[in-house]
Amino acid sequence: MDEQKNQNQPIPFKKTSSWRSFLGKKWAFPAIYIGAAAIILAFVMWYQGSLTDSLVTESEQTEQTAAVQQEESEPTVQEEEAVPASNATPQLGMPVAEGVSYKVGMNYYDEQASSETQAAALVKYDDSYIPHTGIDLTSTDGKAFQVTAALAGKVTKVENDPLVGNQVEIEHPNKMVTVYQSLEQVTVKPGDEVTQGQPIGTAGRNVYEKDAGIHLHFEVRVDGNNVNPEQYMKQSQTESQ
């Protein structure tokens, strides 16, 4: 009887897992395959994109490095350009009017010259001998003559000095200034723009070089220092006309 009871009892139902239930679907494996393929494809595309960006960045860096090296190896435009004309040594004209016959009196005191030449370029004043800072020009007939600007520029000073008489200073490019002393009359004023050869006054006398008579004392200063005017003039210009 017991055995017959056991045979008549229903067999208990065994529950399957949800994962096995999912795999039991007909569309499960195709869905898994498609999802996996999509993930792999996305990874491949990302990797290719990263590789391309890396290659582009390296290429740009290489080009930039090459450009910098080329710029460093090539001379700059400023190095290749010629020296501007404004930096050229100016050519001074003699500060006397055309037609005036003149001669050079006392010369500039040159520290490199012979002792004899230096002695001839000393001004005696008040029992002292002072180096001459310019050149003196006189007319061959000993009369007054018209003084002209040796170079175009701007008049910066006009004054009467008790020792050197009336004097005019003209400023030029390249920190050059020309100075005209021992003037009897002056025909320009500060601020005037003058051209080369333009009259600025007439030669006269002064106390400092009274033995020179009627003359023009002419100086050239560069960057505030006196220099020999003749180095800026043609040799033929310093000879008597």
Q: Are 178 and 160 in contact (CB under 8 A)?
A: no
The CATH class, in words, for 90-238 is mainly beta
b (16+ CB within 10 A) / e for 197-218: beebbbbbbbebbeebebbbbb
How many whole angstroms separate alpha carbon 236 and alpha carbon 239?
Answer: 6
How many whole angstroms separate alpha carbon 148 and alpha carbon 237?
Answer: 14
Which pLDDT does position 37 carry in this prediction? 72
Q: Which amino acid is at 5?
A: K
The pLDDT averaged over each successive group of 10 residues in the chain (241 residues) is: 52 54 62 73 69 58 60 48 52 94 95 94 93 96 96 97 97 96 97 97 96 96 95 61 46
Q: Which secondary structure element, helix H or strand E, spans residue 124, and what is its range?
A: strand 122-125
Which pLDDT does position 17 carry in this prediction? 58
Query: Domain coordinates of the chain in residue numbers?
Result: 18-73, 90-238
Which pLDDT does position 241 carry in this prediction? 46
Q: What is the reported pTM?
A: 0.63
Which pLDDT does position 34 carry in this prediction? 75
Q: For residue 186, give the nearest of 159, 214, 164, 212 by alpha carbon.
A: 159
Which pLDDT does position 66 carry in this prediction? 57
Count CB neighbours of 171 within 10 A: 15
How many whole angstroms separate alpha carbon 200 and alpha carbon 95?
Answer: 9
Which pLDDT does position 13 carry in this prediction? 47
DSSP 31: H
